[in-house]
Amino acid sequence: MGMKFSVTIPAYKSQYLKEAIESVISQTYSDWELIIVDDCSPEDIKSIAEPFLNDKRISYYRNEKNCGVVNVVDNWNVCLNYCTGDYVICMGDDDRLLPCCLEEYTKLIEKYPDLNVYHAWTRIIDEAGNLVEIQNERPSYETCQEMLDGQWKDNRKQFIGDFLFSRRWLNNNKGYVKFPLAYCSDWATANLAAKEKGIANSQIIMFEYRSHGNTISRSQNLRLTFTACDQAFRWYKHQFGSLLPDTFVPFFTKHIKDLVFLDVTNRPLREITYWLFHSQKVFISKYEIIKVCLKSIAAKYFFNRK
C-alpha cells in the first residue's frame, strides 16, 4: 500500500533554502508534497520558492504575521494545517534530506507499521556542508522508556527534522508540543508520540542537520530560556513520571545552573537578586543559586584579570 509524505519547511532564513528544497525534489521516492510557509520574513523567501512551484507537489504560503523566535512552534503547526500526507517531516530551512530519506522511511514503516513516530539517523553539518558529527547509533526499535533512557543517559543530540510523525497522531495531539524558543519541543513531541507504541530508528543516515550560529538554540535571551526550561521540566514530570531516568533531574539542574552562571557573568550584579527570587520557582535550591552566582562573580572579576 502506498503512502504519502508531507515535508514541511517553516521558513524564515533564505541562505540555504534552495538546498533544502532541492533535497526534497531529489528524493528517490516520489509520493510527497512540500509545503513552505514563509513566516513573514524580511528576506525574499518567495523568490527562492517560485521557480519550484511549477511542480504541483510544492506549495508556498506566507504568514500575515510573524510567529517569531519565541513562538516558532506556532509556524510548525501552521505548516501542519496545510498537510495532506500520511506522515509529516518538519525540516529546517537550512537542513537537507538525503536522497534515500523517504524511501528508507517507507521500509521502516513497513517493518514497524502503525507507530506514531520514526527517527532518521542524522549527520550534523556546518555552514559549508562539511561533516561535523554523526548522531549516536540507536536500536531499530525502542519503547518509550528505552528512548527516554537513551535520551538522558547518552545525552543524545536530536532535532525536529530527524523525526517522522503520523499526521493523524499530530492532529489528534493538537500539533507539536510548544515551549518558548522551541526549547525541547522536538524531544517532547517525539517522546509523547512514542509513549504508547514506541519508536523505530533507521540504521542508515538519511538526514542532515545544519549547525551554525543563527540557530534558535543559540538565543541569548537567558531568562526566556530559563522559563522554557522550567516549563519543559514540569511538563516531562507530569507526562512521564516514573518513566524518567535518574539522569533527568541532574540534566535540567545543570542547565539551569549554566543559565544562571551566564546571566550573572554577562549582566550587572543586581541580576543575582532576580535568580535568588526565582529559585523558589525552580528545582534547585537558593543555596545552589548562591554558589553559582559566587562562582560567576569570581570568574568575571578575579580569574579573568590579566
Question: Which pLDDT belongs to residue 302?
Answer: 61
Confidence of residue 71 (pLDDT cuts 50, 70, 90): very high
Residue 53 confidence (pLDDT) above 90: yes
Residue 219 confidence (pLDDT) above 50: no
Question: Which pLDDT belongs to residue 113?
Answer: 97
Which pTM value belongs to this model?
0.89
What pLDDT, in 10s, does the model give residues 9-46?
999 999 999 999 999 999 999 999 999 999 999 999 99
What SS3 class is residue 66?
Answer: coil
User: What radius of gyration, in Å, describes the C-alpha atoms of the chain?
Assistant: 20
Residue 216 confidence (pLDDT) above 50: no
Q: What is the DSSP string of 155-166?
A: T----GGGEEEE
CA dist 28 and 263 (Å) reads 48
Which triple of cell numbers denotes residue 144? 518509550
What pLDDT, in 10s, does the model give residues 133-168?
999 999 999 999 999 999 998 889 999 999 999 999
Percent of the chain with pLDDT over 70: 84
Domains and CATH numbers, the chain: 5-214 (3.90.550.10), 218-303 (no CATH)
Question: Which pLDDT belongs to residue 67?
Answer: 95
Question: Which pLDDT belongs to residue 254?
Answer: 81
Q: Which residues contact 58 (CB under 8 A, 6 or more apart)?
A: 21, 33, 34, 36, 49, 52
What pLDDT, in 10s, does the model give residues 264-299?
666 655 566 666 666 655 566 666 767 767 776 676
